[in-house]
Amino acid sequence: MKILFAGPSLSGTEFVPVRAGEDRVLPEYALTCRGPAKCGDITHAVDQGFRVIGLVDGRFEDVAAVWHKEILHALSAGATVYGAASMGALRAAECHPFGMIGIGEVFERYAFGGLEDDAAVAQVHAPAEFGYVAFSEAMVTIDTTLDAALAAGAITAEEHGFIRTKADAVFFKERTWRRIFDVVSPDIDQAAERLKPHIRNIKHEDAEALLDVLLERKKPVSPKESTSDFADWQFNETTQWRKLRV
């Protein structure tokens, strides 16, 4: 049994629920789709019998986020756990030494590329009933766009650094391309025209890559650095873990 937790990273696709709190079951893929995961959701999925779990998006502001311990529990129960794009990339970067499988560029940036800020994947988005449409842009999207623009010669290295600093200073709930263009336009000529052709929705790209693996259309490609460091680890049912199970 396979389950996917996703929201804004896969907005506009058939792989997100259409109503909050309800699963979207896709028999043609043998896949159950749920919205962004919160604390306890991974454990609940394991208890329900799911043994292949894809974690893309997660909740973090109004509720507790997915615990690392939940992922370790899932792995200890024999589940295969994939992570990408958003909360999934964060948890995969932290749990890949124990066997979680990270997929995509955002995961690699967190695991091996020096990216440390959890908020770099944060976005504001609509609820399930409105398709999880994102109202803001994540910093990882800004970063990949600026990198692409720099590689194409659309901006200079100095402009890259300046725009990134300005974008990062905008509160994540207010960070849109329009806001960024407004902030940098006094100093960067034709910023919008130069950057728009290079915009990359890296979270969506990585979520699609996870889907390819989850649906067995492709095999995961794991960097050699991501091999498990703790092959013989054992799950420890701590007091805090037992509280989560109550």
Which pLDDT tens digit goes with each residue over 13-53? 999 999 988 999 999 999 999 999 999 999 999 999 999 99
* Continuous H helices in 48-156: 68-76, 87-95, 105-112, 139-151
Which pLDDT tens digit goes with each residue over 139-150? 999 999 999 999
Say which residues have a Cβ less than 8 Å from residue 69's Cβ, sequence separation at least 6: 238, 240, 241, 244
When mean pLDDT is compared across 69-83, 118-132, 217-231, the lowest value belongs to 217-231
**pLDDT tier for residue 223 given thresholds of 50, 70 and 90:** low
Q: Choose among 205, 226, 212, 139: nearest CA to 174.
A: 139
What pLDDT shows up at residue 246?
A: 62
| Count of C-beta atoms within a 10 Å radius of residue 241 | 16
For 165-183, the three-class secondary structure string (H helix, E strand, C coil) is HHHHCCCHHHCCHHHHHHH
Determine the 3-state secondary structure of 3 from DSSP: strand
pTM of the model: 0.92
Q: By the 8 A CB rule, do 137 and 86 touch?
A: no
CA distances from 241 to 93, 99, 198, 222 (A): 21, 19, 45, 30
Q: By the 8 A CB rule, do 71 and 23 touch?
A: no
d(CA 86, CA 139): 11
Which pLDDT tens digit goes with each residue over 95-125? 999 999 999 999 999 999 989 888 899 999 9
